[in-house]
Structures are given as C-alpha cells and as structure tokens.
Amino acid sequence: MRSLCALGLILGAANAIADGIEVKKAEARLTSEGYLVSADFEIRLPPPVEEALKRGVTLYFESELSVHRSRWYWMDSEIATHTQTSKLSFNTLTQQYRLTRGGLYQSFLSLPDALRILGRQVAPPIEVSRLDMSGGGYFSRLVKKGSQVGATAWMSLDITQLPKPMQLNALTSDQWKVESERFHWDISPEPPAEEGAQ
C-alpha cells in the first residue's frame, strides 16, 4: 500500500546545537483524518536553567504550529494555528522528571528522555472538508488562486511563568533565553493516495 502523501519539507537531522532550541524536523502531510502538521525540536537547557529545574522550579514551554496563506499584497492569512503549553518539573524525592500537557502527564528517569518527548509537537488534524482537493474545498480554492501556502513551527521557554524573584534575573540573562527561531516552510498540496492504491 502506498505510504501517506507527504506535503512539505522534512529537515534532516540537525548537527549538534548549542544550548537552546532548534527545529530538527518539520513536516506537513495528508492523513485519513486530515491535514497534519508536526515538528521535532531539539532542546538543550543552559546550566542555570537545568540547575533551577533540579532545585524544584517548574519550567513552562510554549509551542506553536500553524498553517497560513502568504499574500504579497497583504499580511499572511492564518488557516489554522495550534498553541500548547507544556510543563516540565523535577521531583527531588523520586528523582524523576515529569512532563505535563493539559491533563496528561508522563514521568521520566532522565532529563534527555523528557526533553526528547517535550520536543515532539503535533497539531490536531485540520478537517478533511477544509482540504477537499476535488475542487470545492477551501484549500483547493487557495491553490487555484495561486496562493502560497506555508507552515510555521516555534517553541520557547516562558520566563514569565517563573517565580517572581527569578524573573528579573532571567529577563537580563542570555542564558535564560531558550527559544527557537520561527521556522517556516512552503507546502505543495497534493491529493491523498486513494485507498488500495499500489
């Protein structure tokens, strides 16, 4: 059976990065549930941030995945945007890291494992009806008009969620600026493969 139709750019594995956040891979593809946008971020915490985490400070990370239409004559038009807050904490009693997203959480024995899962961000699928490629769907009309469709991935440590005594120090220190660039890639929409295609 033919694999799912990939739509967009997939980055190769990134070289080793300095402390901070970098996009390792970003992709957009059609699935049976709709149009799926995801990104893998490599996260490396600077020593002061890691030390604060191990001393019991909860770290809040904000991420954003979006699909938009670029227009040369006006601002970009958003098609769909997904934002998420993830909390990373360390339990000194159990010596485990805890990652919380919404009402769900996972525990990890090592920080690298926790950061790897934290870096995996996936947006909910965009409804198939909006991606109808037979000629009547919203996405199809954008393509027919020659609009450029793209996606963006971004992640950052939210220092405004730190305890008040730490915020001033974090605001004035480059070591607390843990943030990725806004990574953008163009999407070339194609219809998904038919069921049973070889």
DSSP 145-157: TT-EEEEEEEEEE
pLDDT at 116 over 60: yes
Residue 137's pLDDT is 53
What is the reported pLDDT for 33?
A: 80
Residue range 114-132: mean pLDDT, rounded: 81
Per the domain annotation, does 52 fall within a domain? Answer: yes
Element (H, E) at 21: strand 20-31
Residue 196 lies in a domain: no
Residue 157 belongs to a domain:
yes
Q: Per residue in 59-87, pLDDT tens?
A: 999 999 998 776 655 555 777 899 999 99
Model pLDDT for residues 167-186, shown as the tens digit of each residue: 988 888 889 999 999 999 88
Query: CA 95 from chain center: how many Å?
Result: 28
The order of strands in the sheet holding 148-157 is 104-108, 96-101, 77-91, 59-70, 148-157, 183-186
Is 10's pLDDT higher than 80? no
Nearest to 91 by CA among 107, 104, 78, 75: 107
The answer to whether position 192 is within a domain reads no
pLDDT given for residue 113 in this prediction: 98
Inside any domain, residue 194 = no
186 SS3 class: strand
Rounded distance between C-alpha atoms, residue 7 and residue 35, angstroms:
9
Is there a domain that residue 191 lies in? no
Question: Mean pLDDT across the stretch 53-58?
Answer: 96
> Given pLDDT bands bounded at 50, 70 and 90, which one contains residue 14?
very low
In a domain, 113, yes or no: yes
Give the residue numbers spanning the domain of 132: 6-186
Look at the chain and report how many structural domains it folds into: 1
- The reported pLDDT for the residue numbered 4 is 35
pLDDT band at 197 (very low <50, low <70, confident <90, very high): very low
- At residue 44, the pLDDT reads 96
pLDDT value for 2: 36
Buried b (16+ CB within 10 A) or exposed e, 156-172: bbebeebeeeeeeebee
> DSSP assignment, residue 143?
H
Q: Is residue 193 part of a domain?
A: no
> What is the rounded radius of gyration, in angstroms, for the C-alpha atoms of the chain?
19
Tell me the H-state helices in the chain: 47-54, 111-118, 138-144, 164-171
